[in-house]
Amino acid sequence: MTFSLLTHLALFLVGGFAGFVDSIAGGGGLIALPALLAAGIAPHQALATNKLQGTFGTLTASANFVRLGLMHPRRLITGILFTFLGAALGAWAVQLFSPGFLKGLIILMMSAIFIYTLLTPKLGLEPKPHRVPRWLFYSGFGLILGFYDGFFGPGTGSFWTLALVLLLGLGLKAATAQTKIFNLTSNIVALAVFIASGLVIWSIGLAMGAGQMLGAWAGSTLVHRRGVSFIRIFFLAVVAATIAKLAWDMLG
C-alpha cells in the first residue's frame, strides 16, 4: 500500500497534535489511532504504526522533562525495569487472549478516576509524604501497569499519574513527567514486538513521529510553565475522552 504526500503531511499534523496532548495528560493514541484507521490502514498495522509514532513523542517529552528538572531517570530505575518486564509479559499474553474482556472493567476504573479528580480540586497541587515505600510502589505498579500497557493500553498514563499522586505524594507536574518515562518503556517493548511481526508502516510512522517530537516538546515545555490547574483540566478531558472511546467501541 502506498500513501500520497498529502496523507503523510496530514498525519504529520495529527502526530503533532497527539504529541502535544499526550505530553500534558496522556491519551495521544486516542487522536493518532483513529487517524491512522481513517487513512485506510488495516487495524493491526495501525496499532503497530501508532506505537512507532508514539514512541517518538514519549521519548521527546521524557528528554524535555529531564532537561527542565521535572524528572530524574536514575531515581526511577526500579520502576523502569519492572515496567519493561510487565510490558513484555503483556505483549506476549495479548497474543494468547483477547483484550476485549477488559474494556468494561477499564471504563469503570477510568470513571472512578474522573469523578475522584473532579471532586478533588487540590489533587496534586503540592507534594505530600508518600504512603508506600518507593521500591514497593515502583516494582508493583511497574509490573502491573507495564503488563496492562503491553496487553491493552488505553488509560495507562492516567493510571500512572493518579497512582504517583495518591501513593507517592508527587505533585501533578512531577507525576506527569514521571509517567512519560514509564510510557516510553512500555512503548518500546510493544514496538519491538510489532517490528518483529513486520506490521509497522515506516513512512507513515516516521512522518507522524516527526510531528510527535514537535508536539511533545511544546506540550512538555507548557507543563513546566503553567500551573497545576491547567494540567488538571487537560487530565480530566483526556480521561473523559478515553471513557467515551472505550464505551463507543463496546457499543459499536
Reported as a single tens digit per residue, the pLDDT across 223-244 is: 988 878 888 888 899 889 888 8
- For 46, counting Cβ atoms within 10 Å of its Cβ (0-12 exposed, 13-18 middle, 19+ buried), the class is buried
Lowest mean pLDDT among 29-38, 89-98, 174-183: 89-98
What's the pLDDT at 122? 81
pLDDT at 250 over 90: no
Our measurement of the distance from residue 99's CA atom to the centroid of its chain's CA atoms, rounded to an integer in Å, reads 17
Task: Name the 3-class secondary structure at 114.
Answer: helix
The pTM score is 0.87
Residue 106 has phi, psi (to 5 degrees) of: -65, -35
* pLDDT per position as a tens digit, 67-123: 999 999 999 999 999 999 999 998 888 767 666 666 777 788 889 889 988 888 887
The residue ranges of every structural domain in the chain are 5-251
Q: Report how far apart, in Å, the C-alpha atoms of 233 and of each of 71, 85, 121, 124, 158 are.
A: 22, 32, 10, 12, 13
**Mean of pLDDT values over 195-201:** 91
pLDDT of residue 25: 85
